[in-house]
Amino acid sequence: MPSLRSRLRTLAVATFGRRALAAVLYGVIALPLALVGFFLTLVGLAFGGALSVTTLGLWLLAATVRGALALGALQRGLARRLLGLEIEQPSAGDGGKGVLGWRRGILLDRTGWRAVGCALLTPFTAVFAYAAVVIGYIYGALFTLHPLLKRWNYNTVHTTDGTTHPVTTDHHVSLEFFGYQLDSWPRWLIPFTAGFLLLAVAPLLLRYALGPHRALLTVLLGPDAATRRIRTLEETRARAVDDAAATLRRIERDLHDGTQARLVALAMHLTLIRELVTAGAEPDGVLTAVDTARGNATQAITDLRHLVKGIHPPVLDEGLHAALTTLAADSALPVTLTTDIGTRPTPAVETITYFCAAELLANATKHAHATSAAVDVTARDGVLRLRVTDDGQGGAKIGAGSGLTGLLARVRTVDGTLTCDSPHGGPTVVTVELPHT
């Protein structure tokens, strides 16, 4: 059981740690910044709309939209630095040539008007974070320190010689609770306890208070759903093309360096056998050449089977369950397989699921040094879910050129997702979700 000191230290870090204080700073800055942006945007829209029949009005509207975009960039930067909130920068509109083209591009760009909407709405969400800081931290600190702050020296008196000196007064901080003055022991415990509880829940209160503000910034300052969808399709298409090109290069290399070389050797040995038979050579020499040719032919067939298996495992023709059963049986680890699929997935989804399971089991053996693994495949509500768990050393994460990055690129080609939960010391749980219709 953790000691009281460790619990207090954990509470202090959660309340006054670097991340907590960064969130407090953001809560203090966000509301004034939002109010300034709200006022300037509202004034710009009002005057620009009133003068929109003139050229000056259009320029004022364009300047207002441009200012809202700059405010949005500042808010994205603050959210990233202080809250760790990554908001993808939206695509800028295509403006024409010259100042008139710039004005036209600004006024017709949906991103700019979304930023205007964000500038007009952020005060109504930032106020919650500001109130959470005041209630949780300021009042929490004041209540906790009430026994020390209940009296203070603030009066001075003037003497006949013109000098001043402080006078200690008995002025009390007036706090009442159900009609009782909290100015003596043990009544001090009431505000002290209340302040301590407020400080304890202040980080959680601020986190929930920032929720609407974070959601608003993400929705209005990031790319919209259509743009995000287009970007995803572009990325997955590029990755699919790269994957296909890499697969073709691998097939060409394997055929050239492996199968082709063995077939050339087979042809040479067949020619040698013909010459030996024509020359009436000894049977032992002919049989040796035949055995060598047969070995080359067998190895060429093995290479071709391995090559075909890398493109599309033949066992998948019997279904995903049979393919995964074979994969689990051939694995170097003891693998527990559980499947509940029902309707058979499309061939593309089956292939991706199989190769993901194979790669994850290989990673568990080579990198995680696991002693056992479990593969669980279910298909419910239109989603096929593959979960591979191993008891290895953990520490796996997506990115930095790992094999998980390649798997993520593969599953995204069919709008799938991949998540990895791998704390140091294990276990590692990788979940792949693919559309299943």
Residue 380: φ, ψ to 5°: -145, 145
Instruction: Assess contact for 67 and 120: CB atoms under 8 A.
Output: no
Give the pLDDT score at 173: 47
Instruction: Assess contact for 318 and 359: CB atoms under 8 A.
Output: no
Beta pairing partners, 155: 167
Q: What is the mean pLDDT of the segment spanning 399-418?
A: 75
Q: Is the pLDDT confidence value at 160 over 70?
A: no
346-402 tens-digit pLDDT? 888 888 888 888 888 888 888 778 888 899 998 888 888 999 998 888 888 776 555
Give the pLDDT score at 213: 92
pLDDT-derived band at 184, boundaries 50, 70, 90: low
Least confident of 42-46, 74-78, 191-195: 191-195
Q: Is the pLDDT confidence value at 4 over 70?
A: no
Q: Is the pLDDT confidence value at 196 over 80?
A: no
Structure tokens at 421: 């939960």
Q: What is the mean pLDDT of the segment spanning 52-72?
A: 87
Give the pLDDT score at 402: 59
Specify which of 150-154, 259-263, 273-277, 414-418 reaches the highest per-range mean pLDDT: 414-418
65-99 tens-digit pLDDT? 999 999 999 999 999 998 888 888 776 655 556 77
Least confident of 75-89, 220-234, 315-329, 417-431: 220-234
pLDDT-derived band at 293, boundaries 50, 70, 90: confident
Average pLDDT of the chain? Answer: 78
> Under 8 Å CB-to-CB from 168, ≥6 apart: which residues?
153
The residue to which tokens 């699929």 are assigned? 341
18-43 tens-digit pLDDT? 888 888 899 999 999 999 999 999 99
Give the pLDDT score at 1: 47
Specify which of 13-17, 129-133, 290-294 reaches the highest per-range mean pLDDT: 129-133
Q: What is the mean pLDDT of the segment spanning 196-217?
A: 88
Q: Is the pLDDT confidence value at 197 over 50?
A: yes
> Under 8 Å CB-to-CB from 12, ≥6 apart: which residues?
none
Q: Is the pLDDT confidence value at 2 over 80?
A: no
Half-sphere exposure of 331 (CA within 13 A, CB side): 29
Give the percent of the chain with pLDDT over 90: 12
Structure tokens at 138: 């300021």
Distance CA(282)–CA(262), nearest Å, equals 25
Q: Is the pLDDT confidence value at 324 over 80?
A: yes
Distance CA(419)–CA(40), nearest Å, equals 43
Give the pLDDT score at 267: 77
Specify which of 110-124, 211-225, 284-298 reaches the highest per-range mean pLDDT: 110-124
Give the pLDDT score at 339: 87
Q: Is the pLDDT confidence value at 421 over 60?
A: yes
Write out the DSSP string of 316-376: GGG-HHHHHHHHHHHSSS-EEEEEE--SPPPHHHHHHHHHHHHHHHHHHHHTS--S-EEEE
Long-range pairs for 62-65: beta carbons < 8 A, 24 or more residues apart: 62/102, 62/103, 62/106, 62/107, 64/40, 64/116, 65/106, 65/107, 65/109, 65/112, 65/113, 65/115, 65/116
Give the pLDDT score at 255: 67
Give the pLDDT score at 154: 38
pTM: 0.55
Q: Is the pLDDT confidence value at 282 over 60?
A: yes
Give the pLDDT score at 11: 63
Give the pLDDT score at 19: 84
